[in-house]
């Protein structure tokens, strides 16, 4: 095809008419056609032979084997011996059907997904404070109109490049951008004010901002009285967070703290947007609540071009958590422990509410329960590379190896499929239809543009055929995504995330529809909280939260902070992006960022090979010496497995509410430094 830089016959380009990205794509999007027809594409089911080799098989044989083993496990050990692990990459239809499959066809409570590792703390904080969770309660276009924005632990320039156009427009219109991050990232370099925060201290920063707002009379008493509950308890708590104390904990100076608070409070419109930095902590939910407390106190939430939001980059990170992939949820953001919610969904599914299992294990807890010791002996993984994406990765690899049955559904081999008993080849993004829900809550369409290779099937077909073999095919007789979506609409009716008024035709005609949308004549809801919040009384709720240490902090034995994140060239575990030549050439291996002072102390330079160790393991990384990081902190991207896996070192300490692992804070030491000439190519 003319203009095809990949040589695949396909060119991927952005839609200049679509109002979110206006034609812009990140480098991963521009190069995504490399994966269509890729030589490493899986095109036949694979079964592990007695000798341990993976051999091609017929689809019927593979599905029969899976069903027989699932039935045997359920008969011998009960349905709770089977787990299901989904993905934020699945369409709404597939996420919905996977949750139904786990609870109806298998009967297990143990289903969760990789989005637990992404936005679960933001979701938990939003639900507590607002009574509803949507990444952004307003369209991205509102970013342009905000006078002041504070980005906390969100490097959007690398992780969400198309969204940066809105920040550029905001600054061009005279707005101010503040960035809090342990690294001076690409995003921080364009900020008007940079806060070099100590890893794990975001909650303290937010409480300090509220202290300043109270002390300097920057709060909005009228808004607090009319639209919120619980401020007095929060006020009492944050009065201990004077700027001197906050500076000692966070590393952010008193003058910078006060300037940040003033800019946000005195602006007519202001936003706080958090990313994984404050959220991927064992106190991530409380950190989110602390920033929401501040924004509520200064009266900004629900005002035009103002409020709190949570950024996400997963393709269907928002929709993936609305329709039943999480251990505690049912479709429409209903809760599986609430009897009325169970009854509403069970009616659509045609089952007795009592037959539905209760809440299961969250993502890491599910994976850490694999094998005979943990009680989960069989696992179906759909669209997630858990062997790389999970904390304490060596521990999870051992759990995967101990399974009686591991089934992986994916388009390419990955680190998780290396341990599988059965691998099923599935469609890619360009080969399937369905809906996705973006971070604004806008439901959009995915369309088929090319046929999959011979031998590949869709996830809906796989779930239908497995359900039939498990004895409940009548409840899974879906032959198209549209059929699944029609049932999803009915199952979400009356729920928080109500899709009942959304149709494929409306999505096409309206460039997406924002939920909640309870009827076909409802316009959808681009902006939440203008008049009321999601709690029954319509008011937002303050929650007092206190600083507490991370699950693990530096000490004499492990003196450095360790934090993880992304490169712009790779995505999540890198299982697909590392197959794209242009991306692989740009970032062939992970590099550890460290400050020149730390490098001088240990005798390292850019290009040195460092062995870094935590209490859980050790890994090797090439050094990247840069002043753009705190001297007490090292940063590693998490897109690789094996000896270069960042998650060999991360701490699985969990947030008590969101069950988010603490990816962003661990204690490490550098145990070996090899000169550049010894570094493998």
The yes-or-no verdict on residue 277 having pLDDT over 80 is: yes
Calculate the alpha carbon distances from 64 to 57, 59, 628, 661 in Å.
11, 8, 55, 36
Instruction: Tell me the pLDDT tens digit for each residue of 291-327.
Output: 999 999 999 999 999 999 999 867 788 999 899 999 9
For residue 320, what is the enclosing H or E element? helix 317-320
Return the closest-CA partner of residue 142 out of 301, 10, 31, 329: 301
The count of other CB atoms within 10 Å of the CB of residue 1 is 10
Q: What would the two tokens of residue 625 be?
A: 């010496």
Residues 363, 364, 369: CA angle, nearest 5 degrees:
100
130/305 Cα distance (integer angstroms): 17
User: What value does the mean pLDDT take over residues 253-262?
Assistant: 98
Return the closest-CA partner of residue 561 out of 462, 649, 671: 649
Instruction: Tell me the pLDDT tens digit for each residue of 524-533.
Output: 999 999 999 9
User: What value does the mean pLDDT take over residues 157-176?
Assistant: 95
| DSSP track, 608-652 | -EEEEE-SS-EEEEEEEE-SSB-TTEEEEE----GGG-GGGT-EE
pLDDT score, position 315: 79
Between 226-230, 232-236, 564-568, the lowest mean confidence (pLDDT) is in 564-568
Strand, coil or helix: what is 548?
coil
Going by pLDDT thresholds of 50, 70 and 90, the confidence category of residue 1 is very low
298/270 Cα distance (integer angstroms): 10
104/111 Cα distance (integer angstroms): 12
Phi-psi region of 270 (alpha: psi -120 to 50; beta: other; left: phi over 0): beta
Q: What would the two tokens of residue 623 be?
A: 């050094």
| DSSP track, 123-154 | HHHHHHHHS---S-SS-GGGGGG-SEEEEES-
Instruction: Tell me the pLDDT tens digit for each residue of 523-561.
Output: 999 999 999 999 999 999 999 999 999 999 999 999 999
Going by pLDDT thresholds of 50, 70 and 90, the confidence category of residue 8 is low
pLDDT score, position 4: 53
Between 5-14, 112-121, 243-252, the lowest mean confidence (pLDDT) is in 5-14
Instruction: Tell me the pLDDT tens digit for each residue of 584-613.
Output: 999 999 999 999 999 999 999 999 999 999
Peptide bond between residue 90 and the one before it cis (omega within 30 degrees of 0): no
The count of other CB atoms within 10 Å of the CB of residue 171 is 16
Strand, coil or helix: what is 666?
strand
Instruction: Tell me the pLDDT tens digit for each residue of 353-404.
Output: 999 999 999 999 999 999 999 999 999 999 999 999 999 999 999 999 999 9
For residue 193, what is the enclosing H or E element? strand 193-195
Q: Is the Cβ–Cβ distance between 463 and 102 less than 8 Å? A: no
User: What value does the mean pLDDT take over residues 415-436?
Assistant: 96
289/312 Cα distance (integer angstroms): 17
Percent of the chain scoring above 90 in pLDDT: 91
Average pLDDT of the chain is 95
The yes-or-no verdict on residue 490 having pLDDT over 50 is: yes
Return the closest-CA partner of residue 238 out of 546, 542, 549: 546
Instruction: Tell me the pLDDT tens digit for each residue of 454-475.
Output: 999 999 999 999 999 999 999 9
DSSP count for the chain of H helices, then E strands: 23, 27
User: What value does the mean pLDDT take over residues 266-275?
Assistant: 97
3-state per-residue secondary structure call for 51-92: CCCEEECCHHHHHHHHHHHHHHHHHHHCHHHEEEEECCCCCH
Percent of the chain scoring above 70 in pLDDT: 98
Burial, 8: exposed, middle or buried (Cβ in 10 Å; 0-12, 13-18, 19+)?
middle
Instruction: Tell me the pLDDT tens digit for each residue of 47-65.
Output: 999 999 999 999 999 999 9
Calculate the alpha carbon distances from 171 to 134, 167, 177, 214, 330 in Å.
25, 6, 7, 28, 41
pLDDT score, position 579: 87
DSSP assignment, residue 452?
P
pLDDT score, position 7: 52
- Domains (range + CATH), the chain: 1-36 (no CATH), 41-117+318-514 (3.40.50.740), 121-310 (3.40.228.10), 560-678 (2.40.40.20)
Determine what percent of the chain falls in helix, strand and coil, rounding each to the nearest 5: 40, 15, 45
Q: Count CA within 13 A, CB hemisphere, residue 672.
A: 12
Q: How far apart are the first and last CA of the chain?
A: 35
The yes-or-no verdict on residue 677 having pLDDT over 80 is: no
């Amino acid at each position: 095809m003319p203009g095809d830089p990949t040589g695949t016959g396909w060119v991927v380009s952005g839609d200049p008419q679509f109002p979110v990205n206006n034609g812009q794509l990140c480098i991963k999007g521009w190069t995504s056609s490399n994966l269509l027809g890729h030589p490493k594409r899986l095109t036949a089911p694979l079964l592990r032979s007695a000798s341990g080799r993976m051999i091609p098989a017929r689809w019927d044989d593979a599905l029969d084997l899976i069903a027989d083993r699932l039935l045997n496990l359920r008969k011998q050990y009960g349905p709770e011996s089977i787990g299901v692990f989904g993905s934020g990459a699945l369409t709404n239809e597939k996420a919905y059907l996977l949750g139904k499959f786990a609870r109806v066809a298998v009967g297990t409570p143990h289903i969760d997904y990789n989005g637990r590792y992404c936005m679960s703390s933001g979701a938990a904080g939003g639900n507590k404070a607002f009574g509803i969770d949507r990444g952004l309660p307003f369209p991205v276009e509102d970013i342009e109109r905000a006078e002041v924005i504070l980005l906390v632990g969100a490097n959007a320039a690398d992780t969400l490049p198309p969204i940066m156009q809105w920040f550029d427009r905001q600054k061009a219109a005279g707005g101010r951008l503040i960035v809090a991050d342990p690294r001076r990232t690409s995003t921080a370099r364009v900020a008007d004010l940079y806060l070099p925060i100590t890893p794990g201290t975001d909650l303290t920063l937010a409480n300090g901002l509220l202290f300043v707002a109270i002390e300097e009379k920057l709060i909005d008493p009228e808004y607090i009285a009319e639209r919120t509950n619980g401020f007095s308890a929060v006020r009492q708590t944050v009065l201990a967070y004077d700027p001197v104390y906050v500076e000692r904990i966070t590393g952010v100076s008193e003058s910078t703290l006060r300037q940040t608070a003033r800019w946000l409070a005195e602006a007519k419109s202001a936003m706080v947007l958090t990313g994984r930095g404050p959220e991927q902590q064992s106190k991530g939910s409380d950190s989110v609540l602390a920033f929401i407390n501040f924004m509520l106190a200064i009266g900004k939430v629900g005002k035009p071009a103002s409020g709190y939001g949570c950024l996400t980059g997963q393709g269907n990170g928002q929709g993936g958590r609305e329709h039943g992939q999480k251990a505690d949820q049912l479709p429409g953001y209903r809760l599986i422990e609430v009897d009325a919610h169970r009854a509403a969904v069970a009616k659509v599914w045609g089952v007795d509410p009592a037959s539905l299992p209760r809440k299961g294990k969250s993502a890491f807890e599910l994976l850490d329960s694999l094998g005979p010791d943990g009680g989960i002996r069989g696992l179906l993984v759909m669209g997630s590379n858990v062997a790389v994406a999970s904390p304490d990765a060596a521990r999870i690899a051992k759990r995967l190896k101990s399974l009686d049955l591991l089934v992986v559904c994916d388009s390419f081999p990955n680190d998780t499929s290396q341990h599988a008993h059965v691998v099923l080849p599935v469609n890619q993004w360009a080969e399937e239809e369905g809906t996705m829900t973006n971070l604004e809550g806008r439901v959009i369409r995915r369309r088929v543009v090319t046929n999959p290779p011979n031998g590949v099937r869709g996830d809906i077909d796989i779930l239908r055929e497995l359900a039939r073999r498990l004895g409940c095919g009548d409840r899974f007789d879906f032959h198209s995504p549209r059929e699944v979506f029609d049932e999803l609409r009915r199952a979400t009716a009356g729920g928080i995330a109500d899709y009942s008024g959304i149709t494929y035709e409306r999505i096409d005609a309206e460039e997406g529809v924002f939920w909640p949308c309870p009827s076909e004549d409802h316009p959808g809801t681009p902006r939440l909280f203008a008049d009321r919040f999601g709690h029954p009384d319509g008011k937002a709720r303050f929650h007092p939260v206190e600083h507490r240490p991370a699950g693990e902090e530096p000490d004499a034995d492990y003196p450095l902070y360790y934090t993880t994140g992304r490169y712009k060239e790779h995505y999540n575990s890198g299982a697909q992006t590392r197959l794209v030549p242009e991306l692989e050439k740009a970032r062939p291996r992970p590099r550890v960022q460290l400050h020149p002072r730390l490098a001088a102390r240990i005798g390292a330079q850019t290009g040195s090979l460092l062995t870094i160790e935590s209490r859980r393991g050790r890994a090797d990384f090439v050094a990247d010496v840069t002043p753009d990081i705190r001297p007490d902190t090292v940063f590693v991207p998490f897109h690789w497995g094996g000896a270069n896996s960042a998650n060999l070192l991360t701490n699985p300490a969990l947030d008590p509410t969101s069950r988010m692992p603490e990816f962003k804070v661990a204690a490490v030491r550098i145990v070996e430094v090899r000169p550049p000439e010894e570094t493998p190519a």
